[in-house]
Amino acid sequence: MKKQIARLTLSLFATAIIAAPMLSRAQDNSTNTPAAPAQTEPAKPKKHEGLVFRGTVSAVDAKAMTLTVAKRTFEVTSETKITKDGKPAILSDIAVGDKVGGAYKKTDDKLTATTINVGKKPAAESKP
């Protein structure tokens, strides 16, 4: 009987020793705040915002300020950045049959173009 009490006491003592550090750590991390990273990397700039489109222009309506590429019609606003062959352009510079690409945002039932690039990119200038 004394052996059983001794074993029970010893096992309870061992359990308490093992459980004590776990309980103290649980109390220390109760705020659930993530550990701060050692070094913060600078935010990488995005190439474009929104969804991407590419294709051939099938219609341009300067009065309605729309551009149709394939079966999608994009609304063009004053915020839309348009370039043609790497230079700033306006909507009336775009012709049916031009190759275009760009980015747009989808809101409700409208597709609003954020950037439109017409033609090929200019050749990269080599630096001396």
- Residue 89 has what pLDDT? 94
**If you compute the radius of gyration of the chain from its CA atoms, what whole number of angstroms results?**
32
- Residue 107 has what pLDDT? 86
φ and ψ of 11, to 5 deg:
-70, -40
Q: CA-to-CA distance for 14 and 21, rounded, in angstroms? A: 12
**How does pLDDT run along the chain (128 residues), one tens digit per residue?**
878 887 878 777 777 777 667 666 655 555 555 655 656 666 655 555 679 999 999 999 999 999 999 899 999 999 999 999 989 999 999 999 999 999 999 988 899 999 999 987 666 555 55
- Residue 53 has what pLDDT? 94
pTM over 0.75: no
- Residue 39 has what pLDDT? 61
Structural domains of the chain sorted by starting position, each given as residue range(s) with its CATH number in brackets: 51-118 (2.40.50.320)
Q: Which residues contact 85 (CB under 8 A, 6 or more apart)?
A: 118, 119, 120, 122
φ and ψ of 78, to 5 deg:
-70, -20
